[in-house]
């Protein structure tokens, strides 16, 4: 019995510790700050330009994001009053609409400030093109951790055996192409680690900043998205209580003739 308990605990703990450690790979710390508005704005800009073609963050709305990254689009949240508040809110709304909103809603109309941040790719097609559907990234920072995302975005390297031409140090045989190649350039991987073999538009230091800001953005997104997760949590607890009730009734039923 004791052995079984230990084996059971191990099966629970092993995947958890693997996830926390990123599958055993050494992870460079992301060093992000979710209260850094400039970093969030930069991360959001890169995310909508380079990622939202395939990934949504559908637990987020543009107007909430704008407010949280220091660009409130409603006068009441600007911290000012009267005409000045209206002007700031209008200017922010224009800035956000022009720079962050390129997608359409489910019904095909252009997204507005109140829209959810959905990806522009139909899920069925995406799964067919990449072998795996690009997942919604609302809670990816919770699942994988910020350090993992940071290293993932820095970890693409050339691999001619893969259909996308690339592999990844923290996500082996990933279905995602290296979408930031233009900025980073191409890396090769050998027993010494990663090496830049063809330069991109950015220096490695500049690329690190972009990747850190995208990671910061996804980490911020994962925090409001907790609300959604908590809803599922409550649902899971209710289910558990119901099953305990059923188990109890079953036990009574099984034992009633024995006593």
Contacts to ligand HEC by CB under 6 A = 50-51, 53-55, 130, 132, 134-135, 137, 140, 143-144, 149, 152-153, 174-177, 179-180, 214
Q: How far is the CB of 9 from ligand HEC (least distance, A)?
A: 26
**Measured between alpha carbons, how far is residue 229 from residues 10, 138, 142, 185, 237 in Å?**
25, 10, 10, 37, 12
Q: Which of 218, 211, 156, 187 has its CA nearest to residue 29?
A: 211
Q: Which is nearer to ligand HEC, 51 or 66 (CB)?
A: 51
Instruction: Report the nearest approach of ligand HEC to the CB of residue 64 (Å).
Output: 20
Please state the closest distance from residue 14 (CB atom) to ligand HEC, in A: 19
Nearer to ligand HEC, 144 or 212 (CB): 144
Nearest approach, Cβ of residue 137 and ligand HEC (Å): 6
Whichever of 89 and 210 has its CB closer to ligand HEC, that residue is: 210
CB of 230 to ligand HEC, least distance (A): 20
- Could you tell me which of 139, 143, 111, 117 has the C-alpha nearest to residue 44? 117
Nearer Cβ to ligand HEC, position 46 or 75? 46
Closer CB to ligand HEC, 85 or 202, in the complex: 202
Q: How many CA atoms lie within 13 Å of 164's alpha carbon, on the beta-carbon side?
A: 19
Q: Buried b / exposed e across 107-135, counting CB within 10 Å, b at 16+? A: eeeebebebbbbbebeeeebeeebeebbe
User: Cα separation of 228 and 232, whole Å?
Assistant: 7
Give the tokens for residue 245: 């009730």
CB 141 within 8 A of CB 222: yes
- Indicate the residue whose CB is closest to ligand HEC: 51
């Amino acid at each position: 019995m004791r052995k079984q308990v230990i084996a059971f605990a191990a099966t629970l703990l092993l995947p958890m510790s693997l996830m926390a450690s990123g599958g055993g790979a050494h992870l460079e710390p992301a060093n992000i700050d979710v209260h850094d508005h400039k970093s969030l704005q930069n991360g959001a800009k890169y995310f909508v330009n380079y990622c939202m073609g395939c990934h949504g963050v559908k637990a987020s709305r543009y107007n909430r994001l704008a407010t949280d990254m220091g660009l409130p689009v409603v006068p009441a949240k600007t911290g000012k009053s009267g005409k000045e508040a209206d002007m700031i809110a209008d200017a922010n709304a224009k800035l956000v609409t022009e720079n962050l909103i390129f997608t359409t809603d489910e019904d095909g109309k252009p997204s507005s400030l109140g829209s959810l941040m959905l990806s522009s790719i139909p899920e069925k097609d995406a799964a067919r093109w990449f072998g795996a559907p690009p997942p919604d990234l609302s809670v990816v920072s919770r699942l994988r951790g910020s350090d993992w995302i940071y290293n993932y975005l820095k970890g693409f390297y050339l691999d001619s055996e893969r259909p996308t031409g690339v592999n990844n140090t923290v996500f082996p045989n990933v279905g995602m192409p290296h979408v930031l190649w233009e900025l980073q350039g191409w890396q090769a991987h050998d027993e010494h680690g990663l090496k830049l073999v063809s330069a991109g538009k950015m220096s490695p230091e500049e690329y690190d900043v972009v990747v850190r800001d995208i990671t910061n953005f996804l980490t911020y997104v994962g925090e409001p998205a907790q609300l959604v997760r908590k809803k599922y949590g409550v649902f899971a607890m209710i289910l558990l209580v119901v099953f305990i009730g059923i188990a109890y009734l079953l036990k009574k039923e099984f034992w009633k003739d024995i006593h």
